[in-house]
Amino acid sequence: MVVVKVEFLGGLDQTFGGIKNTKCILDQQQLQNDITIANLIDYLASNLITNEKDLEMFIQDGTIRPGILVLINDTDWELEDKEDYILEDGDLVSFTSTLHGG
Amino acid sequence: MIGKLWTVVLLSLLSLANALHFYVNTDETKCFYEELPQDTIAVGKFAVYEFDEKLNDYVENNNNLKIEITVDETFDNNHRVVSQKNSPVGQFTFTSLDSGEHKFCITPKHTNWSKKSKHRVFFDLIVGDAKPLVDSKRDSDVSYLTLKTNELIKKLNNIKREQSLLRLKEASFRDVSENVNSSTTRWTMLQLIVLVSTVPAFNSLQGQINLKNSKVLVIGCGGLGSSALLYLAASGVGTIGVLDYDKVEVSNLHRQIIHDTSTIGMYKTESANIKMKLLNPHLIVNIHSIQLTNLNSIDIFKNYNLILDCTDNPITKYLISDTCVLLNIPLISASSVKTDGQLIILNYQNGPCYRCIHPIPTKPENISTCSDDGVIGPCVGLVGTLMSIESIKILTDYYNINKNPYKPIMLMYSGYQDNNGETIKSFKMRGKQSKCLCNSSITKEFIENLNYIQFCGKINYNILNDENRINFDEISKILNPLILDVRPNEQFKISNLNDYEKNLNLINIPYQSLIRLDEKSLNEKLPKERNIISVCKMGNDSRLSAKYLLEKGYNVYDLKGGLNTYSKTHKFNVYW
């Protein structure tokens, strides 16, 4: 079991029913391997998103929608292992929409 | 009218003979007008006779007859300059103090209660010198005057000498005062510089000189540009370019604080120029009141050594980044919507470009903008301020490549973060991506040939047939209409069609909520038998809504041009 903190920034909280910060408990039992970010994304998509239209705002073409940046402990996931990053207790995962206003 | 006529007649007589002859009753006043130049001596001679019934002739009366003479300056509120009572035969003298029309009046009066009678009046007005000042035949007069004249000439020469002396003194005082003035300005500027320069990281005087030699281009004079420009102008940056094709509107002012009510309707660039020059008159401002395109970006950018992207759409953001990559200019790119903002330094010290961070553009339907979604003014202002801080750091070599090289970070500002959350976060970002186009593919030809609009995608609003689009006045022809306002709830609350129209069936379901409703709730809110008229602010989301409902089997019409068009011909509380 892994407990991680998740935050939604840049207006992405609207897709998750207005939640900005939350804690996720991911159960290892069903999975044989370590828990990765990919598992977290699946968990968020199936547990926190209720509407199909909102799902499109989070996931497109089987991955995180273009325009959303993912950060693990305040570091771009491109510097880590992206979806394959293995989560540890207390990790903070941030999802932020790219803004375009000026 | 008759009086005036009299005057005209009298004046013409005067000019002929300067002498008048007329009849008048006791206590009756006769007046006439004469234009006199300034400092003119006027001498009036008069003789008034009274009618004697016994003799049946006009005779002198020195017993009880007095003549009242008045002279008024008609040009100065009838200011009375002469008022005297004389014997029937006599004269009066006065000197006109100002030039203008004078009114002369004569009134014969009895000093006792004797019967009124008729009078014959002779009046003679001599204007100018009554007698010559000098009689040329008298030698004493001439020599006296010569003496006086010589004395006056001497005095005049003395005055001239004194005057020229004073002029010289005045000139030297002026020089001193100008000198003091410029010294004050210089020391004030120096004081400012010292204040900034004493921050060690600013790099002292050299830092200030670096700012002075810098040329910064700020693209977009909106919310981000406003605070960024104000701080850059005040910090002593030498040259600032401002690029924006928009004009100032009243709805901009809550966040675009470089503009104000006095510059509404002006180009934002011109308006920003005024405010910046007030802050720093030494600043050179280049004004670009045009739209940035892939055909002009290279020509504009090449004159600058730092670019600030304060624009609000991905099309321009990709173009700006590509041009900066081509010309190798560092770029500070930022955005802000609602309460949040982001900032990242790109193309700096071999760091990432916009494409490295965002290889695939966000779909246009997933993007919201300030004018659609609103923004808290100070939130976007803070992000603009953060841009100016990073600008100063780059320009003063804070991120020195040897001592303190730049590591890519993204600043994330969340103005309305929960109490336990962090308002400003600093994310460590990826570096330049080896697969990115910025490594070698971005050339002048690449930029000029890329259709940036197509690349970023564009929402097609042209999706309805003409028979599904109507004007407001056509609603009355539609049976059982239900008006569906698809604007966000907050905007609907500010003003809606029922504010001034009567008996309209109106319902508010925001577009984003509408497309998330399940079949059952949709049918409950919008009964299929009603004719739906879809309405929004500008008539774009209303078309998307209409199309969505048409496909669900509804009978739907779109209000052409939305409330914006409606408000041009009807009373409406416009908030945009």
pLDDT-derived band of residue B197, with 50, 70 and 90 as boundaries?
low
* Domain spans of chain B, in order of start: 2-127, 141-198, 207-456, 466-569
**Can you give the pLDDT at residue B160?**
94
Percent of chain B with pLDDT over 90: 63
- Domains observed in chain A: 2-97 (3.10.20.30)
Model pLDDT, residue B196 = 64
Say if A91 is an interface residue toward chain B (CB within 8 Å).
Answer: no
**pLDDT (0 to 100) of residue B78:** 86
Choose the mutation target among B229, B410, B518 for the interface with A, i.e. most A CBs under 10 Å: B410
Q: At residue B166, what are phi and psi to the nearest 5 degrees?
A: -65, -40
Q: What is the pLDDT of residues B18-76, one digit of tens each?
A: 678 889 998 899 988 888 888 888 888 889 998 888 888 888 887 888 899 999 988 88
CATH node for B2-127: 2.60.120.380
**B279-306: average pLDDT:** 97
- If you average pLDDT over residues B151-177, what whole number do you get? 92
Span of B17-21, B177-181, B248-252 with lowest mean pLDDT: B17-21
Question: Taking residues B191-207, what's their average pLDDT?
Answer: 75
User: Is A69 within 8 Å of B515 when comparing Cβ atoms?
Assistant: no
Using a pLDDT cut of 70, give the percent of chain B over it.
Answer: 93
Q: Annotated catalytic, B536?
A: yes
Q: What share of chain B is helix, strand, coil (3-state, %, to 5)?
A: 40, 25, 35
Q: Which residues contact A100 (CB under 8 A, 6 or more apart)?
A: B312, B313, B314, B317, B335, B337, B362, B367, B368, B369
Beta carbons of A74 and B314 less than 8 Å apart = no
The reply to whether ipTM tops 0.90 is yes
pLDDT at B415 over 60: yes
Consecutive H or E run containing B31:
strand B30-36
Superfamily of domain B466-569, CATH level 4: Rhodanese-like domain (3.40.250.10)
On the CB side of B441, CA atoms within 13 Å amount to 9
Percent of chain A with pLDDT over 90: 76
Best residue in B229, B309, B318, B368 for a mutation probing chain A (most A CBs within 10 Å): B368
Is the pLDDT at A27 greater than 70? The verdict is: yes
Task: Tell if the CB–CB gap between B421 and A20 is shorter than 8 Å.
Answer: yes
Predicted pLDDT of residue B434: 95
Pick the CATH number of B207-456 from 2.40.50.100, 3.40.50.620, 3.40.50.720, 3.40.50.300: 3.40.50.720
Same fold across B2-127 and B207-456: no
Residue B369 has a pLDDT of: 58
Task: List the structure tokens of B469.
Answer: 């689009």
Structure confidence at residue B52 (pLDDT) = 86
Which of B25-39, B91-105, B363-377, B388-402 has the least mean pLDDT?
Answer: B363-377
